[in-house]
Amino acid sequence: MISALYLHIPFCHAKCAYCDFDSRPLCGEALEKAASRYLEGLLARIDAFGEAGALSEVRTAYVGGGTPTVLGPGLPELVRRVRSWCAPDELTCEANPESFDESMAAALAEAGATRVSLGVQTLDPAELRAIGRIHTAEQALAAVARARAAGLSVSCDLMCGLPGQSRESWRRTLSRIVATSPDHASVYPLTLEEGAPLAHRAETDPSLEPDADLQAWCMEEARRVLGAAGYHPYEVASYALPGRECAHNIAYWTGASYLGLGRSAAGMLGAGEWDALAALLGGEPAGEGTGRVRYVQRDDVGMAFDVERLTAREAVAEDLMLGMRMTRGVGPELLSRARSVAGEKSVDSAVSTALSRGLAAWDAGGRLVPTERGWLLGNELYGLMWDLAADD
């Protein structure tokens, strides 16, 4: 059962200095023509999967990018088309403040969007310029207010370790965001991705390299400030008011099947689901021994894909790794399944190592949960779980 749908919009008004996502910085007539052609193709793909019955059980949908709001009226049209095939409880659209005006907020709400994820990143003007953002702090705060006024749930993306960022500027950003009362916040440390403009500049200007110690402090400060304001950390980078967690992202972290459509969109399907849709995804059958299929669309029209077939052992190791990103960790059922697939000795050894290193602990309900140390040293904890993918 496919419970989540992701749609990718590979366009934006300007490419941010840190971005390595598949997006095309277009403007004016060029953007309008390219986006119109792309949207027409994406709508056709949605219809094809809808007609095949693949969307009937979708409970969360997410339109990401790029910057989906550069589609203008095309974005509400896309939302309506999704809702013509399914009835998701949560339907999120990503947006940047400069292209999220009152008419867009109202149109998205009317079309059936329930949630907007705003790329705020920082509210410091110098930091915004340093990373190539084209909105102002005032536009970001106004966008939050517009979304709330339209009845949309609001999430704000924030980034730490930016060039020129200080503890004081980070505190100011957190304080001003909390004052707007969004329902959700995601906090990410800046990474310099190969090929991104900021990474090139850092080769000759080491001061642009993120300070790991400052980033660790910023992440801890975000947890302190957001926690004091009533936001609980339900995932390593995600905070929400009670009942406002992102159901779509939780689907990713809990092994739910999801369908990705659009250039660079990723999807993950069980072997049977893949086989049922292989004709639409241009792939061969999953094959014997496949537990899960991951794919990434490599073109605009949905004819070229990169496909990865995971064994049952790799799939359960992935579930453990992603589960440990969440505050609630992993439960007895998943651990039992992992033991049956990857071997009791291997799983118990990984769990014992996580416990002995202080990366995880047992809670009162018998769940294995990450500790504060495990949250800070996440890569070490996740690595222990992913290592179970390898045969003994």
**pLDDT, tens digit, 9 for 90 and up, residues 53-111:** 999 999 999 999 999 999 999 999 999 999 999 999 999 999 999 999 999 999 999 99
pLDDT at 26: 72
* pLDDT, tens digit (0-9, with 9 covering 90-100), for 307-360: 999 999 999 999 999 999 999 999 999 999 999 999 999 999 999 999 999 999
Does some domain include residue 70?
yes
What's the total number of domains in the chain?
2
Which residue, among 124, 122, 46, 135, has the nearest Cα to 96 in the 3D structure? 135
pLDDT at 256 over 90: yes
Does some domain include residue 302?
no
**Cα–Cα distance for residue pair 56/52, rounded to 1 Å:** 9
pLDDT at 30 over 80: no
4, 35, 257, 259, 380 from 57: Cα distances, Å:
8, 28, 11, 11, 36
Does some domain include residue 178?
yes
CATH number, domain with residue 331:
1.10.10
Residues 361-380, mean pLDDT to the nearest whole number: 96
- 52 pLDDT tier (thresholds 50, 70, 90): very high
Judgement on whether residues 106 and 246 belong to the same structural domain of the protein: yes
Judgement on whether residues 35 and 184 belong to the same structural domain of the protein: yes
**For the chain, what is the mean pLDDT?**
95
- 27 pLDDT tier (thresholds 50, 70, 90): confident
Of the chain, the percentage scoring pLDDT greater than 70 comes to: 100
Residues 198-214, mean pLDDT to the nearest whole number: 92
pLDDT at 392 over 70: no
Domain boundary among 199, 233, 250: 250
Contact between 385 and 320 (Cβ < 8 Å): yes
DSSP string, 174-200: HHHHHHH--SEEEEEE----TTSHHHH
Tokens of 137: 């702090």
Contact between 30 and 59 (Cβ < 8 Å): no
Question: How many of the other CB atoms lie within 10 Å of CB of 203?
Answer: 10
pTM of the entire predicted model: 0.96
* pLDDT, tens digit (0-9, with 9 covering 90-100), for 381-391: 999 999 999 98
Tokens of 222: 């975000």
Tokens of 63: 């339109």
Judgement on whether residues 244 and 319 belong to the same structural domain of the protein: no
pLDDT at 296 over 90: yes
pLDDT at 32: 82
* pLDDT, tens digit (0-9, with 9 covering 90-100), for 163-190: 999 999 999 999 999 999 999 999 999 9
pLDDT at 143 over 90: yes
Judgement on whether residues 101 and 204 belong to the same structural domain of the protein: yes
* pLDDT, tens digit (0-9, with 9 covering 90-100), for 151-164: 999 999 999 999 99
**Judging by beta carbons within 10 Å of its beta carbon (0-12, 13-18, 19+), is residue 276 exposed, middle or buried?**
middle
Does some domain include residue 281?
no
Does some domain include residue 283?
no
Which residues form the domain of 84?
2-250
pLDDT at 265: 96
Does some domain include residue 213?
yes
